[in-house]
Every structure is written in structure tokens, then in C-alpha cells.
Amino acid sequence: MEQKIQDLVEYLKNTAEGKCAIALAGAHAKGAADASSDIDIYIFAEQAKPWEERKALLSAIADPGTTPWVDERFDAAPWGGGMDFHYQGTPVEAVGRTIARMEQVIGDCLVGKYEIIPATWTSNGYYTFIYLCELSFLKPVWDPDGILADWQAKAAVYPEPLRRAIMTDFLGRSGTWMGNFHYESAVRRGDILFTAPIVLHTLMDMVQVVFALNRTYFTGDKKLEAALSKLPVCPDALRPESLDLLLTTPRDPKILEEQRQLLQSAYRQLSGWVSEALK
């Protein structure tokens, strides 16, 4: 696998123009890869080579019978420009970002500014502060100009302005339905299409508060239960023994009320902790 990754790095250098840095991400960067893991690679560059050139390059190395997906630009979306293909039997997800965009978002996050952008592939939206989170685990594999080294130094300590902003904003979001009579009446009539999204989004907002309280970077939606179990400051409602209740959606009003009470208990705990943290 190491040789395969090195080969991919050499190929992907040719998708960029100007200064460039490349990093390994995902399970391989975190040391959690298994036989079914794909390869996640980030390319940071002054700009992308023209779409036609990148498409031709990846088509030449992609497995026979497969067609690479290549976004038009490295700034095609807030999270970058995707280049997905299969190489020697392994799915590869390469993400390109411009250095200018990285500098802008990192600078904003360091002073507590970020965006929450709706996206279909993540349940609660795309948080731009994930840029800093990713820097906490990315494994540089090509960084001749020290670009990644500089960014990772900036992200080495969880920025206090970002922590305070996340705790404040996401606690406010998670309190939206606490004590709300529309939620209460939906519980009484067993309206699970109304209550289930409330529970999920409230829970996901609380997750962000918990990570910020612990000064721990959020690293994505996958394997959250395991990540939460390692955090010392966490409401009981977000522990494994309570998640089964929160993430089931029976039509029984009694159980739906138990869900609501559990969320309210977690909200009260978080409110107290955040209040102390913000003093």
C-alpha cells in the first residue's frame, strides 16, 4: 500500500500548478486503515491545471472500465474540488484546494469565524472549521515549501476564539426545541417524521459543543460514538447506553417522551459546562 500511495502522490503532483503540497488523509493518515479502506489524498496548490489535462491524466492511470470524476476547479465547492477514481483496485478520493482558500479559512477559524453550509452528504451541514480539524491529523507526504508545516503549526493548539464561538453557537442551536410546544405535541401524537429530525439535529449540534468543551478537534461524522466515548466531558445522553434510545424512532409517545427528556437533560448539562467555560 505504501508504494501505491507514493505512486499516486507522483501522479497527483501533475494536477497542480505553482506551489503545491500533498497530504494523506482518512483512515490511512489516522492509522486506522483496513483492507477495505479507500485512499484519501489532499492536494493544496496555487491553482489546478486545466480540467482537460487532469481528466486525461487520471483517465490514463485509472483502472480499465472505470471513469474518473474530476471537478472543474480546486475551488468548485467550499470543501474543494474532487477527483475520484480507482487505482489498482483501490478507490481513491483526491481533494484539491487552493492555497488562497486555505489561508482564508484558517485565518477566519483562528479568530472564531466559520460557516455552516448545507450539504446532502453530511447530516448537519458542512462546517468550514473542519479545515483546522483536518490539519490535526493530515500526514504530509509532499511539502517542499513548508506550506503544510506552517498550517499545522497554527492549528497545533485548539484556538480559544473558535472554541468559544462553537460552544456558543451550537449550544444555541441545540436549544431550539427544548421546551417547545410544537415538539411536545408531536411527541403526544407519535409524529415521528417531525420528531426524528429534531432529535438527530439536536444531537449533532450537541456533539459539536462536546468536542469544543474538550478542546478536541471534530474529525468527521464517521466513528463518532467511539470518539465521544474517549472524551472526559460528555453528557450521559451521548454515551453508548443512551444513544440507542435517542437514535430509534418508535411511534410510541411514551418512548418519544423519554427521548425528549433525555435531550433536555443533556442540554442542561451542556449549558452548565459552557457557562463555566465562558467565564
pLDDT in tens, 102-120: 999 999 999 999 999 999 9
Which residue has 501533475 as its cell numbers?
Answer: 14
Residue 226: Cβ-neighbour burial (10 angstroms; 0-12, 13-18, 19+): exposed
The pTM of the full predicted model, rounded to 2 decimals, is 0.92
> DSSP label at 5?
H
Do the beta carbons of residue 47 and residue 96 sit within 8 Å? no
Q: How many degrees, rounded to 5, is the angle at CA 229 between CA 225 and CA 234? A: 105
pLDDT (0 to 100) of residue 241: 83
Q: Which three cell numbers stand for residue 36?
A: 477495505
CA 245/CA 240 separation, integer angstroms:
10
CATH number attached to the domain at 2-154: 3.30.460
Phi first, then psi: what are they for 139, rounded to 5°? Answer: -110, 105
| Residues 6+ positions from 77 with CB-CB distance below 8 Å | 71
pLDDT digit string, tens, across residues 171-205: 999 999 999 999 999 999 999 999 999 999 999 99
Listed by start position, the domains of the chain span 2-154, 160-277
- Bridge partners of 91? 86
CA 276/CA 233 separation, integer angstroms:
13
pLDDT (0 to 100) of residue 58: 96
CA 103/CA 42 separation, integer angstroms:
15
pLDDT digit string, tens, across residues 144-172: 999 999 999 999 999 999 999 999 999 99
